[in-house]
Amino acid sequence: MPLTPEIVGKLHEATGARNVITASEELRTYECDALTAYRAVPGAVVLPATTEEVQAVARICYQAHIPFVARGSGTGLSGGAMPVPEGVVICLARMNRILEIDFPNARVVVEPGVINLEVTGRVAPANYFYAPDPSSQSVCSIGGNVAENSGGAHCLKYGFTTTHVLALEVVLPDGTLMHLGKKTLDALGYDLPGVFVGSEGTLGVATKITLRIVKRPESVQTLLAAFHSTTEAGAAVSGIIAAGMLPAAIEMMDHLSILAAEAAVHAHYPDCGGLLLVEMDGPQAEVCALMEHIQEICRSQGAWEIRLAQSETERALVWKGRKAAFAALGRISPNYIVQDGVIPRTRLPQVLTRIGELSTEAGLRVANVFHAGDGNLHPMVLYDRRIAGQEKSAIALSERILELCIEAGGSITGEHGVGEEKKHMMSKMFAEPDLATMQRVRCAFDPQQIANPAKVFPRPRLCGEKLGEYTPHPLELAGVAERF
Amino acid sequence: MPLTPEIVGKLHEATGARNVITASEELRTYECDALTAYRAVPGAVVLPATTEEVQAVARICYQAHIPFVARGSGTGLSGGAMPVPEGVVICLARMNRILEIDFPNARVVVEPGVINLEVTGRVAPANYFYAPDPSSQSVCSIGGNVAENSGGAHCLKYGFTTTHVLALEVVLPDGTLMHLGKKTLDALGYDLPGVFVGSEGTLGVATKITLRIVKRPESVQTLLAAFHSTTEAGAAVSGIIAAGMLPAAIEMMDHLSILAAEAAVHAHYPDCGGLLLVEMDGPQAEVCALMEHIQEICRSQGAWEIRLAQSETERALVWKGRKAAFAALGRISPNYIVQDGVIPRTRLPQVLTRIGELSTEAGLRVANVFHAGDGNLHPMVLYDRRIAGQEKSAIALSERILELCIEAGGSITGEHGVGEEKKHMMSKMFAEPDLATMQRVRCAFDPQQIANPAKVFPRPRLCGEKLGEYTPHPLELAGVAERF
């Protein structure tokens, strides 16, 4: 259904005219998220300020069969917030209040537009923090984190967003308000907060989110270990986990990403083939004892230089280099694709070797930065768009790498989501009955499929549709996004 | 639909005649689980040995519109495995193989009939264990644990069953086989393992379950602290958590349950008003340091006796008393109701006081044993069935206690499930749109609602049914269980 002036009028009534954007040059701002390769111009962007306004907007879209896409800060890497052409974007930036801080129960209630790092900022004085820490945490929103089930370096020990979301107030696509989960642990009934977190905007819009906050550990130590190769570094990772230790973070960088990070932020990383960054936190007694053990393991696997950060400043610099690694690649390559795949930790050496071979075959450099502890790789394929055909082969290579992850018993995304970018690969991971059930679950929330349709699933499926039969979905015929 | 001889014949073909029970005296064995107050005699019990046999049985039931209930060891406390009268019970006791043990990735793949404690038994030689530890762990099955999202004393630190189930092979009610989740963490798509775990048999039958196993901690210390009252003990619990420590377990017992445990297993508990059992595990350095701190906190809250278990034997005895507490009540009361409710940890003192008042008002003794760390209460209402009207008031009291949990911002079940027992209370916890969405999710798996129908939800809802409208469900008209 087109976005008629009458409907725009209704949106004006719902949120106030000044919070509805329809001027084409302003709409361009919202044509993509951090995955800039896919773009589509929406018909309107609404900025509601309250749950009631979100409900009103949803009702308008539902009654007119107009698809909408919820958007946080637009830092997503899989195109999850890319608009439907001519559809509505519900931008939650104005819903950015921290509604409640309950220290005795270690709970915080926020609106979706609250910035990830702001939560920690607010609870830090009482010695708490919010654990999930995507590299974009200084700009990304909690609502976006919920949509993508965002991870981060410290999720090895603390778990992903889903571990930290206890309850949600959700506006269903028809405008109905529902409440998922409870402030207490182990809520009863189906674990709907679990389904909603990571549903990439396809089930509705979260308007209130109850988060768990964590007591800041007594002490933190961060270690840098330099190896000749990522294979050696990988063996050290296995050694650490096999010893039964659970560091707060185990990050690995290969030579190329070290060069990039150095060029960008001068983190004083040793110039080596494989760099391991291990952080332990907890009671002082524990951290000191285990750091000793970790250093032994690293040495035994061939670490030729080991450094313990001696101050908070040193520690911050170590992390600055790691978190800047993606952006830093701009220093050494005109263009690059950041990939996101998961493999069983034990397959690290084989997969890395194979990535090296594929990179050589394709004649394209691949930099590897990853959360080694939970086998979440971020291979980055470097290329130059100006050279004819190179972007095409870069995309081909990055997809080949994802297939490699699947072959190794892993998956095509750890924390960036499927979104627009990877939906065509879902059938490589899931059988038809699995995808069909997921889509029927979606229909339980969104019978009209107007909430971020045409994302995540290889093809939208009508809610009435039986397994096996094939009814083309309107959006499918329309053809959703233009690829740049 | 009745269970005709023709359908029984098909069941014979599906699993072999010897694995189909139809003799009424044998069927009686399956008329209830550990919640004996609700009973119903099934039309047939089938004992499949393979996934294919489960699929065949499901197809037969689906085609004939015959409801089925999956059953593990029948130790459930909410009547989740109670049959539908004249329906089919799928007993998974024969599917009891451990299919794969993958130490490098810390994963174990089991069939649903495997006994909880057997998993730990098999991985212990390599110094691993399976964390969720319901008191019934020596007899309950993993399949049942999955259905109820079972907890246990150590779930405070290690999390409930849902934290430890990574992937599932599931037979849908129509016989379709589907796969949920992955061996790796942070699987993509909707978190369907999360929905399935705790769905109390209403979404299908799990036939293969991939579990996470945990490295056994370097050291364990168990402390007993005797207080004058549960209020003092509760204050100590808050103190421990507020200090940022996360013990493996924090259990509390009141005077009545201490007496019962003593009478049953002579655990040598101090005779006190409130007993705290705190277990710390982890690296030796950590455990020793923190146990010191915990003892200080207990003393500062009025603990007049503190004992550290000096040997594995002593430790085992301490736990034996705690785990025997339910059964032990038989020593001091002819009948009792074990309840299961959750409250925010911070509300412990108020809620316990109020339970005491309600107990006096009703003239019935209430013993309290609970997982204090996560606010999961197990109040046990003692009564004598032979005294006219006493069972009725015992049930009324235990329901009043659950309402108290809801009023305190908690829930009506922590780990025992809703099942048959508490479905009528769901509307006190969830608004109609919340329940409706849950039931639509159920329809995504089970459009005919033949998998354990008439459980969990206050009333079955037909899949086509719109919110607000009311179409009586066949089972509702039939009237499901007889109350004894």
Domains of chain A by residue range: 5-91, 98-215, 219-319, 333-407, 430-477
Give the pLDDT band (50/70/90) at residue B36.
confident
Closest A-chain CA to B128: A244
Q: Tell me the chain A residues in contact with residue B151 when contact means C-beta distances shorter than 8 Å.
A: 186
In eight-state DSSP terms, residue A388 is T
Question: Among the listed ranges A277-281, A285-289, B106-110, which one has the minimum average pLDDT value?
Answer: A285-289
Average pLDDT in chain A: 91
Q: Which chain B residues touch A410 with a CB distance below 8 Å?
A: 182, 184
How many helices (H) and strands (E) are present in chain B, helices listed first? Answer: 17, 21
Alpha helices, DSSP H, located in B208-347: 230-242, 255-265, 284-300, 312-328
pTM for the predicted model, two decimal places: 0.91
Q: Do A191 and B172 touch (CB under 8 A)?
A: no
The domain B219-319: what is its CATH number? 3.30.70.2190
B464 → chain A, closest CA residue: A464
pLDDT in tens, A265-276: 888 999 999 999
A134 interfacial to chain B (CB closer than 8 Å): no
**Which pLDDT score is estimated for B1?**
66
Instruction: Evaluate if residue A479 carries a pLDDT over 80.
Output: no
* CATH architecture of the domain with range B333-407: 2-Layer Sandwich (3.30)
pLDDT value at position A24?
Answer: 92
Burial of A284 (0-12, 13-18, 19+ CB in 10 A): middle
pLDDT in tens, A399-451: 999 999 999 989 999 889 999 999 999 999 899 999 999 999 999 999 999 99
CB pairs under 8 A between A and B: 216
Angle between the N-to-C axes of helices B230-242 and B284-300, in degrees from 0 to 180, rounded to the nearest 10: 140
pLDDT, mean over chain B: 91
| Interface contact flag, B178 A375, Cβ < 8 Å | no
Return residues 25-84 of A near B (CB < 8 Å).
Answer: none
Task: Dump pLDDT digits (tens) for B466-480.
Answer: 555 555 555 554 444
CB-CB: which of B195, B409, B445 is closest to A195?
B195
Who among A188, A344, A410 is closest to B412 (CB)?
A: A188
Q: Would the CATH topology of B219-319 be identical to that of B333-407? A: yes
Residues with Cβ < 8 Å from A387, sequence gap 6 or more?
Answer: none
Residues of chain B with C-beta less than 8 angstroms from the C-beta of A376: 186
Number of H helices, E strands in chain A: 17, 21
Interface pTM, i.e. ipTM = 0.88
Q: Which of residues 434-473 of B touch A (CB under 8 A)?
A: 434-435, 437-438, 440-445, 456, 467
Distance CA A375, CA B19 (A): 44
Give contacts of B429 with chain A, Cβ < 8 Å: 188-189
Kindly state the average pLDDT of the residues B347-370.
92
Residue of A16, A33, A7, A117 lying closest to A420 (CA atoms)? A33
Cα–Cα distance measured from residue A366 to residue A385, given in angstroms and rounded to the nearest whole number: 15
pLDDT band at B465 (very low <50, low <70, confident <90, very high): low
Separation of CA A106 from chain center: 24
Query: What is the band of A328 on the pLDDT scale with cuts at 50, 70, 90?
Result: confident
The alpha carbon of residue A178 is apart from the nearest alpha carbon of chain B, in Å, by 5
Mean pLDDT, range B224-232, rounded to an integer: 94
> CA A108 to CA A122: how far, in whole Å?
10
DSSP helix/strand/coil, B137: coil
Q: Is the pLDDT of residue A256 over 60?
A: yes
Which tokens is B125 given?
């030689």
Whole-number pLDDT of residue A473: 55
Interchain CB contact of B429 with A (< 8 Å): yes
CB contact under 8 A, B441 and A160: no
Closest to B36 in 3D by CA, of B77, B92, B84, B88: B77
Strand runs labelled E in A246-338: 249-254, 274-282, 305-308, 335-338
| pLDDT at residue B315 is higher than 50 | yes
Chain B residues close to A166, C-beta within 8 Å: none
Class of domain A5-91: alpha beta
pLDDT score at B480: 44
Helix (H) / strand (E) containing A258: helix A255-265
Largest CA distance in chain A: 71
CATH of B98-215, one of 3.40.980.10, 3.40.640.10, 3.30.465.10, 3.30.950.10: 3.30.465.10
Q: Would the pLDDT of B187 be above 70?
A: no
Read off the pLDDT of residues B422-439 as tens digits, 9 standing for 90 and up.
999 999 989 999 999 999
Q: Which residues fall within 8 angstroms of residue A464, CB to CB, at 6 or more apart?
A: none
Per residue in B101-151, pLDDT (tens digit) is 999 889 999 999 999 999 999 999 999 999 999 989 999 999 999 999 998
Provide the pLDDT confidence category of residue B349 given band limits of 50, 70 and 90: confident
pLDDT at B244 > cutoff 90:
no
Task: Find chain A residues with C-beta within 8 A of B238's C-beta.
Answer: 104
How many angstroms from the chain centroid is the CA of residue B462? 27
